[in-house]
Amino acid sequence: SRLMFKRSPRVELYTLIFTGAVTACGALILSPVLPFFAMKHGGATALDFALITSAYSFFEMVSAPLLGTLSDRIGRRPVLLTGIFASAILYWVLSEADTVKRLLLVRAMLGFASGTEPAEIAFITDLTSKEQRAEWIALQMKIETVGALFGPAI
C-alpha cells in the first residue's frame, strides 16, 4: 500500500512565504547591474533603461488580476508553480539576452510571470483560519520585503 503523507498547513505556509521572498529578491537582484548590462549589450539610452526597469513592474501589475482569477478557476498551486517555473526559465533567458530589445522583452515576461501575489494571498486565506489570516498575510508581506531588500545586496 502507498503511504500517504498529510501536508502540514504550516509547512505549506512557510514554503509559500519563502517562495514569495525569493520572487521579490529576484525582482530586484539585477537592479545594481542592469544599467551596465544594458549599456554593454546595445548601448542602452536612459529611456531604454527606464523601460527595462519599469517593464517588470508594469507587467506584474497587468498579470496580477489575471493570475488571481486564474487561480480561482484552476487552483492556487498550478498558477504558483507555473509562475515559479516560468521565472526560472526566463532568468536563464535573461542571462543570454544580448540586445536592449531582448532585455526589455524578457523583463516584461518576467514581470508577467511574477504577478502571482493575489494567488499567494488567496492560498494563505485558504490555509488559515479567520483569526490567523491577518497575521500570516502580514508575515508574508514582511518576508517579501526582506527578500526585496536583499535582492540588490546580493
Q: Comparing C-alpha atoms, which of 69, 87, 112, 89 is closest to residue 22?
A: 87
Residue 4 lies in a domain: no
Residue 142 lies in a domain: yes
What is d(CA 54, CA 38) in angstroms, rounded to the nearest whole number? 14
The CATH number of the domain where 53 resides is what? 1.20.1250.20
> How confident is the prediction along the chain (154 residues), in pLDDT tens digits per residue?
445 545 678 889 999 999 889 888 888 888 888 778 777 766 788 888 889 889 999 999 999 999 999 999 999 999 999 999 999 999 999 989 888 899 899 999 999 999 999 999 999 999 999 999 999 999 999 999 999 898 888 7
What is d(CA 120, CA 118) in angstroms, rounded to the nearest whole number? 5
Q: Comparing C-alpha atoms, which of 84, 23, 27, 83 is closest to residue 54?
A: 27
Residue 90 lies in a domain: yes
Q: 117-153 burial, b if ≥16 CB within 10 A, otherwise e?
A: bbbbbbbbeebbeeeeeeebbeebbebbeebbeebee
Residue 3 lies in a domain: no
